[in-house]
Structure 1
């Protein structure tokens, strides 16, 4: 096997090199293409290279390329990304290479940086590799790169690079699985270890999943008491509805504090913002970018807006129409089966079971439509040709969030506000919780596990096990696993759960208890599929859960109106109003008054609970002060004449 790229100087020297990232070229790999790619990845920054340590895998004709980085490159990238690390006095300080002596273990990247951070920095360096002048890709003369075009992203877009993924480290993986999902009786998650291995975004997701599940416990206990003690006093809906509204507010406010604390400890709370490069899928005729001064694809924003207005929005409305059609068919079938059941006087157990058939079938329809729409939304968003990845992700998230909210909750809102049938609402909610959770568990874990176990996953038939290179074979086998689908669906599932719990749990008090049971198994299944069923995802720096925080808070606002209306139409409250001689209009006015009080209470609670603890606000100010002092010292050094 060929050796790694030799280190250029003594400051880059390391006694051993750990493979961090793998690139697989399309089979059969062309030797000239691989040699050119290796030269670019190990080339100097000023020449457009990535300045990485590169290993050509089995040989020059093989498809595998392994990447690592010198200590110097890792520390320089840490400063560029603005990661904060513990300083000598224990406080978190934005890392500066010139002041690296102030940071313990900075001379040992394996101890100073987590595995996820090192893999993130290698990916950042890889994405920075560009050509400085127009050139054809060796071995593919029809493919040309323009000045400033990212090499790896372009080769991925053209299919020359088939796979680009970070590598597992078996020792660290074994320790993580032992502490995480191997022993199911361990409820507490090793969040810091998860973050160290998989990165900030994955760590924050599992932290939020655990936080949300624990927050459901008080509501679950209250709901079980309501359900099994058969409490029927008039204040039942009122108390549970008010509890749901306050619970949704406190959960998200305390999560923001918990999230900020985690982000500070992980060094991402004060992440720098960076100029975003164009996506690999962005296309258009070459034009001069007035910001960078480089040639890159250009697509006018007015054309993108036309595509959104004339194509994307009409297609979204078509799917919304399908969602409403499904709801209409469900309600028609529900009425028909109810009438049939009453006419036959419930003559058999089968007839009683059939009462739940429309609701179960409607749930299956919702799940199918959600999955089809998500694929269509991704195709539409790609076709809209957004320049940067953040714009692409924001557009996709908004499309899916709006549709998923309407598709999942429109039937429940219709039953609540128009039909005012709490018994049907209770039955619909129970079937949604049970059927959708079974579908999610089968789809997310059981199906991928069975496909992998019976080797139905598409793999590469060109790589055979080699006794001479077992380590390389293990890297190739990791690439044969399917790519990790991301956290979007996982957050969306929690979004829907949060809606069920905050909007309608006063009608079906067992909602929170069922969600707690589901989420305990969800932690196990999500961790198992992340570790064993998919490629390891690239780490992504994050200080919070992003747009999902806003989405959950919007649901909390909807919860006020929904719960107040349910209080108004509940049989116990209606009977109480009749006893006091109140008309329906008067009771509705009281409900509106209660809604205004609860919204005011939510606002007061949001302001009363700071997003950051007091000690953390002081630490943030200290970080800003140290960063400013370091900037001034750097400016003074540059201004001094060279002796």
Structure 2
């Protein structure tokens, strides 16, 4: 069995090395390719390497590579990546390798950089290994390489690199699991520990899930009080509508403040976005990138737009028509069941819920089916960047999910104006959807524990004498982490139910809150034990989902105002006082505009970033500006001394004239900048 390659820095040599990332090559990998890849990973950057430490795995002839990094390499890479760390004065500033002594805990790499950050740095370092003078992949002459091409990306495209994943730390994971997904622990989630182990995107989702669940407590208590006290319908609708408007606004604005505090303390708020490499699955004719001047695939934007507008959009419209057809069938069934129930007095009342139950199952199935179709379509559109791919996929699924989940509710409230049917439909959607989700959430971990562990491979994981390399291989056999897309989508639908229609069904928030308490633990258990540990990039917020939730908040004002206007009590009051439907509509629109104005005022009145965070950021920016001015002043002094020396050596010659001197100084300042 081989050993770890030595780090480039002698002071970083140690007996124990923690493997951070595993690379699995294809089973019949050519050993020439493996040796070449190891050489490029460990070589110095001046010759095109990554200066990382690499281990050949179980044996030199195997298909696995383990990668780690020395302390100084990680610190230098942290500066390149642009990580923000805690300075000696308590502020978060961009890490500087030359000034590392003034950063807190920089002498202890495990304290200074979290496990997720170290693994993220190694991933970025591997992705930045470029072709130098190779014409093809050693061992595979048909796989041509281009100057400046990313080797890591090319190995994935050529299917030579089978998979790669960050490795778990069993001791840290056990401690985190005991505090996180244990039902005996009723305290809040260890968000900072989640960030340290899994990274920013995962920690941000679980923080938002916890924040959203806690924010449901007042509206859930208010809804329970309304039901228990049997308040008058009009009072209930008016109170809930106003409460919903204030709640949806305040919750999202307070979440912005909370997420800004988290991102500042994690050092992700001010991180600059790096130049993104093309996606592995991005295809196109090879050409020179005008920005990087490297050979990279190119796909015309007009072809992508043609695919979107001529195929993806029509397919979306087709599925929307399926959704509307299902809604039509639901209303037809509703009418038939009502007629049957009225004609048969001895019929069970639960039959009235049958159409809603069947339609809810149809909605759930269509959601899953279109999600798969949207993924295929978005991949076929051939987006160059991962961020572009995720945005287009999110928009597709968001549009369909909104129509599929809420169209029937809007039709009942706006066209039919049947509040009783709306209440029944909302109750069936909430209860049945949550039952289905909970069955899936709980059955998968249960099967993992009871069936999967019966296999011989997973039994080894529980044995103390299991070799470390076998544990690493078992991690590679787990399913890849699917991301947080479905979880955010579920929260989006829940937020819509609560903010749009909970005035009709006051127990909505209570049901959602109970569901989410279980959801937190189930999601945590799956992430810790069911999936491979994912590579997670730093995150400053929840991204496009913030906009989606805010749009629902604005729609909630319109929805709640309209539901008040069609309530039987309001209609009775208007009939008694001879108020025409036209005047009711005018009053509804006027009140709705007034509430929207209040909502906008509340949004501006609550700052997105706390004052103390703003002050710290501005102080760092001021100090950076002062340091830059000081460097420019020192450069001017050095230029003056240099020109004076040249004039002395010129034996009476005039030296630089004023224009040349000014140009020289300007160029010097630009170089410093």
TM-score above 0.5, yes or no: yes
Q: How does 1:354-393 map to 2 (within 5 A)?
A: 354-393=351-390
Q: Give structure 2 stretches of 5+ with no counterpart.
A: 643-673
Q: Which is worse superposed, 46-55 or 538-547?
A: 46-55
Q: Which is worse superposed, 215-224 or 623-632?
A: 623-632
Counterpart CA distance in 1 for 2:281 and 2:245 is: 43
Residues 93 and 627, structure 1, Cα contact 8 Å, conserved in 2: no
- Residue 318 of structure 1 is matched in structure 2 by 318
- Residue 236 of structure 1 is matched in structure 2 by 236
Q: Residue 19 in 1 paired to residue 24 in 2?
A: no
- Residue 36 of structure 1 is matched in structure 2 by 36
Counterpart CA distance in 1 for 2:33 and 2:191 is: 41
Q: How does 1:301-340 map to 2 (within 5 A)?
A: 301-340=301-340
Change (3 A) 1:231 1:386: same
Counterpart CA distance in 1 for 2:617 and 2:547 is: 23
**Larger of the two Rg values belongs to structure:** 2
SS at match of 2:98: helix
- Residue 287 of structure 1 is matched in structure 2 by 287
The one-character-per-residue Cα deviations of 1:575-627 (angstroms, maximum 9, x if unpaired) are 22223221222112111111001100011001110111111110111232344
How does the TM-score come out when normalised to structure 2? 0.91
SS at match of 1:24: strand
Q: Residue 122 in 1 paired to residue 122 in 2?
A: yes
Counterpart CA distance in 2 for 1:421 and 1:457 is: 53
Counterpart CA distance in 2 for 1:330 and 1:458 is: 45
Shift of 1:11: 4.5
Q: Residue 496 in 1 paired to residue 469 in 2?
A: no
Shift of 1:47: 3.2
- Residue 585 of structure 2 is matched in structure 1 by 588
The one-character-per-residue Cα deviations of 1:139-171 (angstroms, maximum 9, x if unpaired) are 333322322222222222332222211111011
Q: Residue 527 in 1 paired to residue 524 in 2?
A: yes
- Residue 557 of structure 2 is matched in structure 1 by 560
Change (3 A) 1:142 1:357: farther
Q: How does 1:62-101 map to 2 (within 5 A)?
A: 62-101=62-101
- Residue 422 of structure 2 is matched in structure 1 by 425
Question: What RMSD in Å do the two structures reach over aligned CA positions?
Answer: 2.5
Change (3 A) 1:255 1:144: same
Shift of 1:124: 1.0
Q: Which is worse superposed, 629-638 or 88-97?
A: 629-638
Counterpart CA distance in 1 for 2:619 and 2:561 is: 45
SS at match of 1:131: coil
Change (3 A) 1:439 1:133: farther
- Residue 2 of structure 1 is matched in structure 2 by 2
Residues 32 and 138, structure 2, Cα contact 8 Å, conserved in 1: yes
Residues 2 and 59, structure 2, Cα contact 8 Å, conserved in 1: yes
Q: Residue 220 in 1 paired to residue 217 in 2?
A: no
Residues 334 and 355, structure 2, Cα contact 8 Å, conserved in 1: yes
Counterpart CA distance in 1 for 2:522 and 2:555 is: 31
Residues 14 and 71, structure 1, Cα contact 8 Å, conserved in 2: no
The one-character-per-residue Cα deviations of 1:217-254 (angstroms, maximum 9, x if unpaired) are 00000101111222115322111111101100000000
Residues 234 and 564, structure 2, Cα contact 8 Å, conserved in 1: no
Q: How does 1:385-404 map to 2 (within 5 A)?
A: 385-404=382-401
Q: Residue 618 in 1 paired to residue 618 in 2?
A: no
Q: Give structure 1 stretches of 5+ with no counterpart.
A: none
Counterpart CA distance in 2 for 1:457 and 1:25 is: 28
Q: Residue 438 in 1 paired to residue 435 in 2?
A: yes
Change (3 A) 1:488 1:265: same
SS at match of 1:492: helix
How does the TM-score come out when normalised to structure 1? 0.95
